Amino acid sequence: SAVISQKPSRDICQRGTSLTIQCQVDSQVTMMFWYRQQPGQSLTLIATANQGSEATYESGFVIDKFPISRPNLTFSTLTVSNMSPEDSSIYLCSVFPDIQNYGYTFGSGTRLTVV
């Protein structure tokens, strides 16, 4: 299965600033997903990122707040913009390696604290 390097692993940020999270995959993958996991909660899908097209955002998430880039089949970034304490969460990327392989691989997550 694919191996994902997610950076940073954690950060503490001032409110009003932005943080960009990176996910690098060791192989080409069709689909990448970005999830948010609020403290003590389950994972909520933010958006699906496909190479060469705009990301598809889920209800409650907007591009201005969570811009996503997917410049190639091995890399994606998620930016959390104009942060507030409510954005304090774990953010995880996930990849869907292969249409025929229904397994998903996750990055190790980014623990974000906004103060």
Partner 1 sequence: AQTVTQSQPEMSVQEAETVTLSCTYDTSESDYYLFWYKQPPSRQMILVIRQEAYKQQNATENRFSVNFQKAAKSFSLKISDSQLGDAAMYFCAYRALYSGAGSYQLTFGKGTKLSVIP
Site residues for partner 1 per CB under 8 A: 31, 33, 41-45, 48, 56, 90, 92, 94, 96, 102-104, 106, 108-109, 111
10 CB contacts (<8 Å, ≥6 apart)? 110, 111, 112, 113
Type of residue at 60: G
Least separation in angstroms between CB 69 and partner 1: 19
Q: How many CB atoms lie within 10 A of CB 58?
A: 14
Type of residue at 106: F
Q: Is the dihedral of CA 5, 6, 11, 16 positive or negative?
A: positive
With respect to partner 1, which residue has the nearer C-beta, 28 or 56?
A: 56
Least separation in angstroms between CB 16 and partner 1: 26
With respect to partner 1, which residue has the nearer C-beta, 16 or 103?
A: 103
Residue 106: name the closest of 57, 35, 46 by CA: 35
Least separation in angstroms between CB 111 and partner 1: 7
With respect to partner 1, which residue has the nearer C-beta, 20 or 104?
A: 104
With respect to partner 1, which residue has the nearer C-beta, 20 or 56?
A: 56
